[in-house]
Structures are given as C-alpha cells and as structure tokens.
Structure 1
Amino acid sequence: MRALLRPVVVKELGLVLLKPSKELLPLFSGRVLIDYAPEYMIEWPSGALPTAMQCLGEDPVLVPFFANEKVIQAAGGINGLKDWLKRQPSGCQWPHSDYHHKELVATEFHPGAIRLCWGCDTQLHDHHTKQLSDIAKANIIAWVIDKARQNLGFSKSHVLTLPEICWWATQRDLVSALPEGMARRALRMPQDAIPSVSRECDIVPELPATSIIQEKVKPVLKLKVDPESPGTLMKRPKRIRLEKPTYLQWVKTQPCEGCGSPADDPHHLIGWGQGGMGTKAHDVLSIPLCRTCHTELHNDPVKFEQKHGSQPAMIIRVIDRACSLGVLA
C-alpha cells in the first residue's frame, strides 16, 4: 500500500500532521517510509496510489523489445501471459459491450492475449482490429515488466527503470532483442538521428549500441546439449575434441592450482585416460598452472599429484568456479 499525502508542518512544536482517509489507516500500523514525491506525481491528487506506475510501459522506443518473441518466451511464453491475465483483479477488457458475463477467459490476440468475459469472447472470436491489438500489446508490456520486477527481487511498489530492464534482458540472454534506441539510452549515447539534409563529412561512423552491449556481456563459453548427436548412433564413433579458446583465456587468468601464484598456462588433463599422441583432452578439462608447476607436472605427474592433489579434483574446482561466476552458462 502506498499513499500520496500533503503534510501540515507545525514548526513551533516540531510536528508534522497527516490526514489519511479511512482505508489508508492500516498503512500507519508500523513504521513508514517518508520520501519526496517524484516529478511525475506533482499534479496527482492526495490519496492512495496504485501498486506501481511503470513508466517503461509508456515509452514507444521500448515497445519492439516487449513484443519480441524471444522476450515473450523468456518471460514464460503465451501460456504464462494468459495465466497472469486470469490472476488480475479487474474484469473484462473489452469496454464496448452492455453485458459482461462473470466468467473470464484469456484469449489470444496478436501479439499477445486479452482478458475477456464469455460473452465478449464469443462476440470477438476471429476478430482482429487495431484496438484489440493495442490491448494485447499493453498486456504484454505490463506482464513482461511485472515478471522482470519479480525476477529481480523487487516489491510490487517498485518502479522498474531502464537499466534494470536491460540487466534482466542480459540475465535472460536477450541482448540481441534490445532495440538500438533502447540500447543507446541504456549506455547514455546520443540518439542515432541523421538530419534529412546533411553532409557526408559530418557523419561520424560508430559502432551500434546493441553490438557494444553484446560485446560486453558475451559469454566466455556457451554449451549446447544434443542428446541425439550423430556420434551416439555409431558403434565406434570418431572422437571430436571440444575446443573453446575463450574459455582457455579465462583459465589463464585464474590463480595457479599448484602454488596459488598467477597462472601462465591452461594445462590440459593428462593421464586418467585423457590425451595421447597427437591429441589432448577437451578444453574444459584444463586447469590454471604457473610455468614452474606446469613443468613439474609434466616431468612427474604422480609426484605432482601426491604433492598438490589430483588433476580431476583441480578440474572440478575450476569448473565449479566457472559455473558460479557465470563463465560456463
């Protein structure tokens, strides 16, 4: 519960008086948070406030992002949207009807879904108008914002900001769905607007904002699972070695598993049934080692493992660290 109230300050007594309505009295059953009213609330009347006025939903630059198919799937898909609509307290969303049945359904309308009563659902079946599309689009925007707010751990009263929705998109691997204008605002870059009449020498080439964000959040390693790969259907399949140079670059930045000093090399597992003439273990089966420990291991693997521990145990620690930090995702 939130409220917008006008205080009466009694300076002589050092008191501030508030006059809430009866329905707002439960708000003062415990400690309350006092803050300045934001600029967009200056003209609002005193009284109870809605759960949250999500200004992002009114920004036309962000509409392509919310309506993107990848974003809809990441938020829970069309079925998740329909379930969310059924849980909303308001009734039928089609205002142009004199009668509304008490039973409600969520009906798909491009690009999303609309909450309708049984009567309006029957009346509007197979209809596709701009007004229906606008309602469906507004539902998608409100739903995605609500899902992002929940995923980020904010309360219902929180107003989601542009950096926060961009961070949610990054977590869900949706950077490619960010519109250029949205990415430019997130990076505080000037909008990419070319005047209708301009000289070619005045155009300054620069990287698109979306590619800048993509480069910043590019994962070091992205694993794909194919349980029915061609090799699984062969009796004696040819061994395919997994090569991930970017993962090896990350391994080199980790402390040496032997002595703890800064690592110099990513060492691939030897022995233990791995490696051999003209080949070596997969890149994910590697550990960071300094030059001294790396030489020591290759000279006498048994002695090295007796001193520092087994190579598989070191690999498990490195992979666990990579998964915990989001390097392996």
Structure 2
Amino acid sequence: MNIGMIRAAQGRLEGQVRRTPLLNSPFLDEIAGRRVWVKPECLQHTGSFKFRGGWSAVSALDPDVRACGVIAFSSGNHAQGVALAAARHGVPAVIIMPSDAPRMKIENTRTLGAEVVLYDRANEDRDAIGARISSARGLTLIKPFDEPEVIAGQGTCGLEIAEQARAEGITRADVVVCCGGGGFASGIALALEAEAPGLRARPAEPERFDDMARSLSSGRILRNDSLSGSLCDAIITPQPGELTFPILSRLGGPGLVVSEDEALHAMALAFARLKLVAEPGGAVALAAALFHRDEIEGDDVIATISGGNVDADVFAMALSRHRA
C-alpha cells in the first residue's frame, strides 16, 4: 500500500464519488471544548464511505475478470458499495450478509441488484462461505477492508480531509475515524502522511468490540470475543486486518473506545446540530470527539461520520433517549 495507489484510485473515482464537506457547529464545539469538524460520509453514495472502496476495487479489475462478477461479505455498507459499483459496471454481484444485519441494509443491497446470501454470524464462517461461492461461480472476492484497492479507495477521503483542513487553516489535529477492520482508518492515515503530516488518524470503536484499540496497545493483533450483540454492527469485525494493522501501528494514534449510549447521543446531536442522519457505528468517531475530550489534544479535532444507514426504530430510540 502506498500513496500512489490512493491517488490512482482518486482518478478512477473522479465523477463517481461525492466530495463530502467538512462541517462545524459551535454547539458541538462547546461540548467538546475545542473546534469539532465533521466529515459526513453518511452523505456519500449508498449512505457510507464504503462506495469509495467498492468502486476503487471493482474499477481496478481486468475487464474480462470483472465481467464474470464479484462477491463480497458485509453487514451492509460494504455490501451496498460493492453492489452499486458492480451495477454501474454492468456486472453481477453476490453479497454475503449476516442474518441479523439491519433490514434496511439487506433490502437496499437487493434493490441495487445484488444477490444476497444470509448467514449466522455467530455460528457460520463468512470467509468459508465466500470462498465456496466464488470458486463455484468464478467470482472475484472484494474484501471489506483487508484489500489494497479497497484501502486505496477509502484513502481518497483522507485526501479530501487534508485539502479541506488546509483551507480552514488546520495544521495539527487528531482525525478520529470509525473503525472495524481498519480499511477506512488506514487509508486515511496513508493519505494524511503524504498530504497533511500534522494530522493524525485515530481509530474509534464501540466497547466490547475494540479489537483495533487493544491490538495497537499490545503491539499484536487481538480478536474480539464476540461478533454480535452491538447496535454498532457496521464496524464489528473479528480482528484487525493483516494489511491495516501495520499501517495504523506505524501511523495511527491510540484507539478511542466509546459506549453504545455515547454513540446514540452523538447520533442525536448530529441530527439536531448538523441535520445529519448517522447510524450507531457511523457515530462512534463523533462520540469520541465529543465525550472523550481528555484523550484528545489540540484546538481542533476532525471526526468522520462513516455511515447513515440506520433502521427507523434505532434512530427514533437515539432521538428519544437523548435530547440535544
């Protein structure tokens, strides 16, 4: 992985991806005790940053290979990103999704034209299922985070952050990134290293599923004890990636860990103050920026909202539990 791959991905994404803004609210600044800048990838195509990586990976395939179709596994956001990228290229897509994924994500993935295969994430191995189907049908597997072209696509968000931070006069800040397997955080970290070395990527995760934070602290890859049981389903993975962990070990700051209730509170504040819809997993970085001020240094902090694909009942619960 290198900055050249990210810049090449940016070229392929030109005209396909939305350039999301960098937003600020004085109400959020007051809570955090510093200026808070929000990069709302919930406004991206398919409602999350995952379209960047999906398009990058599908567009990088040899045309003859791509024509046979692609396969991916995801709880929903990577699923939709790959499904839309495949549809726009006119090739088939099979998406393996956990049966307990939010209903909206399953339905959206099917609507985008992909074939959805459901599995029990607690008792079945999605990697084994994917390998079996891809082998039988000649499909190319697009991994959700531990895939160079996916990381490169996610890194294009980091290039945007670097440029937008310069425009705002921000030269030093933590960039807090919602983190599952680490594709988004590591791509952003590589982009910042090249374009904004004063900005440092820091992964944010929910309690009980903080494998990246624990791994970075210990210096070795550690697994989560469980793979289900969190509203932050979008960023629940077994363990950090073999590609992403070394990148964040070298370039990232310590991980930040938030409670599920803090994520819900951040959702309510994003809606009230920025008019943004965030899903729980997509709000953990903002939650860390707002409610963990003593773990962050400097006058500015940049936080991603990585996705907004939330079921109506969960969003209503966030708004009813926390009055902004």
In which range does the TM-score fall when normalised by the shorter chain?
Answer: under 0.3
The structure that has the greater radius of gyration is: 1
| Structure number having the greater strand percentage | 2
Q: Normalized against structure 2, the TM-score is what? A: 0.23
- Identify which of structures 1 and 2 has the higher relative contact order when contacts are C-alpha pairs closer than 8 Å and 6+ apart: 2
Q: Normalized against structure 1, the TM-score is what? A: 0.23
| Structure number having the greater helix percentage | 2
